[in-house]
Structure 1
Amino acid sequence: MKIPILIKSIFFGVPIGITLVDSVGYVARVDGISMQPALNPDKNSTDYVFLNRLAVRSYEVKRGDIVSLISPKDPTQKIIKRVVGVQGDIVKTLGYRDHIIKVPEGHFWIEGDHTGHSMDSNNFGPVSLGLLTAKASCIVWPPSRWQVIHTDLPASRAPLNVRRTAISY
């Protein structure tokens, strides 16, 4: 009995596809205005980004990275934000209960680029690295926005201990 080629393709293709999505990455739509102007620069556009799972496999993130993570407020939701502080950084918050906070070990501080229009660490505090799922590597759609996403952190949002180090040189 011969197995049709379509069934063979599905039998081998589905597990390979699932493995690639789970270990390498996937394309995701970015909803909302919280990451403007870096993502979704105007209300009439929606960016699709490649979320690279390999880039965060060791749970190492850098200041300025745009990352995807499981929301600390709603575990059924994924959010995308910029890393402002990593463990040990002293961060000046924007409305959090403490005006200045030291990011604990195993955590990071995230914020949306559109200050005041984002549900981020200023609402729920430092985020566990265990919630990290991927790093946004590039914008893949629309074609007019194709680009690699660079690690940029506005100087005004740099952690206080980093600012002091930069000034002393």
Structure 2
Amino acid sequence: MSERFEDDDIEFIYWGDGNKPPVKYVEEEVKNERHYRKVYKQSKRNVRKKYVILKREVFNWVKLIACAIFLAFIISNFIIINALVPSSSMEPTIMEGDRMIGFRLAYIFDEVERGDIIIFKYPDDHSQKFVKRVVGMPGEYIEIINGMVYISNSEDEEYKTQLPEDYLTVMPEGNMDKIRIPEGSYFVMGDNRNDSEDSRYWNDQFVSEDEILGEAIFVYWPLWPQVID
């Protein structure tokens, strides 16, 4: 049996047991619970959506960074050489402390020419990289008299020619007996001829084709970029 009574604002109905809550109160609680569940589910969906978006963004950034690292690896190991010149042996063409770029593919489809400035593995220690100018070509005879370089294709003294070296700014000194450059190898020297450890002094005097890493292209630091010639 139910009892009914009225308050100023709400009509309450009790069913038998007076300990049971009002019906309208229960209805409001049910509505609130449904609303909270709806809000909770929507919040979960929003959180899940934000998580998916964040995960996608993180993945895209990781992918971008990985591609950049891979590209940098390919460029630095197969296309260019980034080198620091630690000595004055190539001055004034390349100054001590200059940073320069070399091109690894320079001699894939082209031949090394006299006068080229090359980056190569030091013949006496392949862990070191050197930068010098190509002076003597494969198969030639080379000698130095009073600092001047003489080139010939035979041992006959009549056919030797003094090598023009317009890039030298200081009169070179010293002498070197005539030697023959092996096939597939080059005789290299620094432009600062009086302060350069090069083919004149090494135990293994010549730079082989396999030891050449690339051609020096330009200096990019500390001056404005300048082409190496």
1:89 shift after superposition:
2.1
Q: Which residue of 1 aligns with 2:180?
A: 102
Alignment partner of 1:49 out of 69, 87, 100: 100
User: How far apart are residue 26 of structure 1 and its match?
Assistant: 3.2
Q: Is contact 2:80-2:102 (8 Å) kept? A: yes
- Distance in 2 (CA, whole Å) between partners of 1:127 and 1:26 is 18
Structure 2 partner of 1:8: 63
Structure 1 residues 26 and 138 mapped into 2: Cα distance closer, same or farther (>3 Å)? same
Between structure 1 and structure 2, the one with the greater Rg is: 2
Matches within 5 A, 1:127-138: 127-138=207-218
Equivalent residue for 2:150? Answer: none
Choose the corresponding residue for 2:196, options 95, 118, 121.
Answer: 118
Query: Secondary structure of 2:200's match?
Result: helix
Give the number of equivalent residue pairs: 144
- 2:28 is aligned to none
After TM superposition, the score normalised by the length of structure 1 is: 0.76
1:47-104 Cα shifts (integer Å, max 9, x gaps) = 11111111123572111111111111122110110100111222114768x6112211
Q: Equivalences for 1:5-84 in 2 at 5 Å? A: 5-40=60-95, 46-58=97-109, 60-84=111-135
Task: Return the structure number with greater relative CO, CA threshold 8 A, min gap 6.
Answer: 1
Distance 1:30 1:148 in 2: 15
State the shift of 1:27 in Å. 2.6
C-alpha contact (below 8 Å) 2:123/2:206 kept by paired residues: no
Q: Aligned partners of 2:90 and 2:134: how far apart in 1?
A: 12
Give me the whole-angstrom Cα distance separating, in 1, the residues matched to 2:207 and 2:66: 39
Residue pairs, 1:132-147, within 5 angstroms? 132-144=212-224, 146-147=225-226
Using the TM superposition, give the Cα deviation of residue 119 of structure 1 relative to its aligned residue in structure 2, in angstroms: 1.8
Q: For the Cα contact (< 8 Å) 1:59–1:129, is it kept in 2?
A: no
Q: Is the deviation greater in 85-94 or in 28-37? A: 85-94
CA distance in 2: counterparts of 1:58 and 1:118, whole angstroms: 30
Question: What is the identity percentage for the equivalent residue pairs of Structure 1 and Structure 2?
Answer: 32
CA contact (8 A) 1:34 1:114 kept: yes
- 5+ unaligned residues in a row in structure 1: which ranges? 151-169
- Partner Cα distance (1:121, 1:31) in 2: 18
TM-score normalised to structure 2 length: 0.57
Deviations 1:88-138, CA, capped at 9 Å, x for gaps:
222114768x61122111100001111232221101222211110011011
User: Cα RMSD between the aligned structures?
Assistant: 2.1
